[in-house]
């Protein structure tokens, strides 16, 4: 149980870092500084910004994390 709590805290920390310094060409439309980052079961991301490898389109990614 303690390991699960530590993992959840680590995931929340990593998601907050994505908001502050996202990878070039990536966006996370469902994450915001006002959003509740307690539900870590599903994360939506998009890649395809200009001047990236994926610049010809927008690719949506859904990351599901098992409980």
Count the residues in the chain: 67
Residue 65, CB-side half-sphere exposure with 13 Å CA sphere? 13
**Whole-number pLDDT of residue 32:** 62
5: burial class by Cβ within 10 Å (0-12, 13-18, 19+)?
Answer: exposed
Q: Does 17 score more than 70 pLDDT?
A: yes
Q: Strands of 5-67 (E only): list them.
A: 26-27, 42-47, 59-64
Q: Does 9 score more than 80 pLDDT?
A: yes
Per-residue model confidence as pLDDT tens digits over 30-59 = 766 555 566 666 777 777 777 777 677 777
pTM: 0.56
Q: Are 46 and 27 in contact (CB under 8 A)?
A: yes
Instruction: Identify how many contiguous H helices and E strands the chain contains and give both numbers.
Output: 1, 3
- Tell me the pLDDT band of 2, cut-offs 50, 70 and 90: confident
């Amino acid at each position: 149980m303690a390991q699960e709590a530590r993992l959840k805290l680590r995931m929340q920390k990593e998601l907050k870092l994505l908001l502050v310094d996202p990878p070039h060409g990536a966006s996370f439309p469902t994450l915001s500084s006002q959003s509740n980052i307690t539900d870590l079961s599903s994360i939506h991301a998009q890649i395809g910004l200009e001047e990236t490898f994926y610049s010809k389109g927008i690719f949506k990614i859904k990351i599901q994390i098992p409980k």
